[in-house]
Amino acid sequence: MNSNGQSGITYLTLDWQKAQFRRLDFNELDVIPEKPKCFSKMINFSKELSKGIPFVRVDWFEIGGKLYFAELTFYPSAGYTPIEPEEWDIKIGGMLKLPSRHK
């Protein structure tokens, strides 16, 4: 939560650094949370759970040093999350490789 009491979202890289883009529909966090102790497990399990899927967000909780799976989300914000700067919206979209229906 931000100092103004509103919910916030900040995207982070796998190196736990602030990403070069942000959502326009949320404020950014004032303080970046501490990296979870189970972060490497989260990444490894997420890679396994997402194998063969063009895009999925894998959500986790770490409570008391224990890892808990939350959910898989295939279309967050129905694919309409407003991102700035605009070149990152295009760059992120370009990372999605959908399988061809035609052989």
Query: Model pTM?
Result: 0.82
Look at residue 1 in the predicted model and tell me its pLDDT: 57
Q: How far is CA 57 from each of CA 3, 38, 44, 72, 73, rounded to the nearest angstrom? A: 27, 17, 13, 6, 5
- pLDDT single digits (tens) 37-77: 999 999 999 999 999 999 999 999 999 999 999 999 999 88
Looking at the predicted structure, is the pLDDT value of residue 2 above 70?
no
- Each residue of 18-33: pLDDT tens digit? 999 999 999 999 999 9
For the chain, the domains span 35-94
Query: Quick one: average pLDDT of 4-19?
Result: 89
Which residues are CB-contacts of 80 (< 8 A; sequence separation ≥ 6)? none
Q: What letter represents residue 35's amino acid? A: K
Q: According to the 3-state scheme, what is the secondary structure of 41-62? A: HHHHHHHHHCCCCCCCEEEEEE
